[in-house]
């Protein structure tokens, strides 16, 4: 492997990718229409970035119950499927590959999104966050209500149906969102999950919901088109588990048996060394445990991404914010060019500004 390891081809699930640079999933809040459906704006945004070996879309809620942010696109209605078709056609026309991220936020929501009904969680839980709601203001999250056993099983079915819809929309595969303190991670962690049915208790029971979702999605679309994102060192939206290391050691070792397209892990954000039983070096620790294709994300640069692949700590590396301001990130990596800076003020503002108006180097030169 050479110093341009990020630019070498790699097999991923059912596909051979042209490079190992992944566009990470990023919420951008541009589906500002009643259907919460992607538009031509989404199609242009993703097509601009199709030189990535793989694009993973922003989280797309698998049901109305799964929404927790303004203007995030769903994957549960005919209008949303049609909207996503615009995206996949545009990306494929540019020679790209694209997976849809399947999402349910769980407690990280607000009644304003649900006609006054409470958000849901494994157990009664308030993430203590802020939600910008359809009422047009930042509101404090509330205590979510505990899901019944039957409702948990219905959400598993929602993920499988979302995966089928993604295939109808022309995606190359799906990534299940099990990170960042959303519903799947809420089930995993004993700081939140206090259930007494088969989805609560010891680690295997708390992981049951995750594995039922994985198995349902595999049955729907095939293992080679199914992927999963986890965040073993996450402290956002979800308090740490009493033994996060043991929890994720169990989960990630078991995932090796599923033949997934890939496992996508987030590195720690900040110093987590003071948290008991939490792994600080995510890639170093879990590369030894997981036997399949591994994508690493969070804080990587061109240099550290190449080094991670050369050292065998990752097979691919995902980049988030750099892709916002650099639609031609792969080409800039190839040329060793300077990266443009992203405007944080437009990360979540509907419209073209800060979304599709970042120029590529070639267009700047022209």
Buried b (16+ CB within 10 A) or exposed e, 36-46: bbbbebbbbbb
Residue 114 to residues 28, 126, 133, 149, Cα–Cα distance (Å): 21, 16, 10, 20
pTM of the shown model: 0.97
CA distance 86 to 38: 8
In contact, 337 and 41? CB cutoff 8 Å: no
pLDDT of 362 reads: 77
Enumerate the H helices of 37-148 as residue ranges. Answer: 40-48, 78-93
Q: What is the crossing angle of helices 40-48 and 78-93, to 10°? A: 30
Return the closest-CA partner of residue 330 out of 292, 360, 358: 360
Give the domain ranges of the chain.
5-365
**Token pair for 363:** 């267009």
Per residue in 209-234, pLDDT (tens digit) is: 999 999 999 999 999 999 999 999 99
Q: Which two tokens stand for residue 30?
A: 């541009």
By C-alpha distance, which of 341, 363, 365, 364 is closest to 354? 341
Q: For residue 36, is it left (φ>0), alpha (ψ between -120 and 50) or beta?
A: left
Q: What is the pLDDT of residue 1?
A: 46
Give the CA angle between residues 162, 168, 172 to the nearest 5°.
85
**348 in catalytic set:** no
Question: Residue 111 phi/psi, 5° resolution?
Answer: -55, -25
Quick one: how far is CA 38 from the chain centroid?
17
- CATH class, 5-365 region: alpha beta
Q: How far apart (Å, rounded) are the C-alpha atoms in residues 266 and 105?
A: 17
Handedness of CA 250, 157, 115, 37 (dihedral sign): positive
What token pair was written down for 301?
């640069």
C-alpha span between 19 and 16 (Å, rounded): 9
DSSP 224: G
Distance CA 269, CA 271 (A): 7
Out of 45, 71, 76, 182, pick the active-site residue: 182
Q: Which pLDDT value is given to residue 137?
A: 79
Q: Which residues of the chain have pLDDT under 70?
A: 1-2, 363-366
- Tokens standing for residue 307: 């080094």
* Per-residue pLDDT at 135: 84
Angle at 287 between CA 286 and CA 289, to 5 degrees: 60
Distances (CA, A) of 116 to 4, 130, 145, 186, 237: 52, 16, 13, 22, 21
Task: Answer whether 144's CB lies under 8 Å from 198's CB.
Answer: no
Measured CA to CA, the distance from residue 3 to residue 54 in angstroms comes to: 20
Place of tokens 């060019």: 337
Three-state SS for 21? strand
Give pLDDT, residue 364: 53
């Amino acid at each position: 492997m050479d110093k341009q390891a990020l630019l070498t081809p790699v097999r991923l699930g059912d596909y051979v990718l042209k490079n190992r640079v992944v566009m990470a999933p990023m919420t951008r809040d541009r589906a500002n229409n009643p259907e919460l459906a992607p538009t031509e704006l989404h199609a242009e945004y993703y097509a601009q970035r199709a030189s990535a070996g793989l694009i993973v879309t922003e989280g797309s809620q698998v049901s109305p119950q799964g929404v927790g942010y303004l203007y995030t696109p769903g994957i549960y209605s005919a209008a949303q499927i049609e909207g996503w078709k615009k995206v996949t056609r545009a990306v494929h026309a540019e020679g790209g590959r694209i997976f849809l991220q399947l999402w349910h936020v769980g407690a990280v929501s607000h009644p304003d999104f649900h006609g006054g009904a409470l958000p849901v969680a494994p157990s009664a839980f308030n993430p203590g966050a802020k939600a910008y709601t359809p009422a047009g203001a930042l509101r404090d999250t509330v205590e979510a209500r505990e899901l019944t056993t039957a409702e948990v099983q219905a959400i598993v079915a929602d993920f499988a149906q979302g995966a089928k819809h993604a295939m109808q929309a022309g995606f190359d595969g799906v990534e299940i969102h099990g990170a960042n303190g959303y519903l799947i991670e809420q089930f995993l962690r004993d700081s939140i999950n206090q259930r007494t049915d088969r989805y609560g208790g010891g680690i295997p029971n708390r992981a049951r919901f995750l594995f039922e979702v994985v198995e349902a999605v595999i049955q729907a679309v095939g293992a080679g088109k199914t992927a999963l994102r986890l965040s073993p060192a996450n402290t956002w939206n979800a308090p740490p588990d009493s033994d996060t290391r043991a929890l994720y050691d169990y989960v990630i070792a078991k995932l090796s048996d599923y033949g997934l397209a890939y496992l996508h892990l987030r590195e720690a954000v900040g110093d987590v060394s003071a948290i008991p039983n939490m792994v600080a070096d995510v890639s170093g620790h879990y590369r030894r445990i997981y036997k399949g294709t591994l994508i690493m994300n969070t804080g990587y640069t061109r240099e550290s991404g190449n080094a991670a692949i050369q050292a065998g700590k990752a097979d691919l590396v995902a980049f988030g914010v750099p892709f916002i301001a650099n639609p031609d990130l792969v080409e800039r990596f190839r040329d060793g060019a300077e990266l443009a800076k992203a405007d944080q003020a437009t990360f979540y503002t509907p419209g073209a500004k800060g979304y599709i108006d970042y120029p590529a180097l070639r267009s700047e030169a022209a």
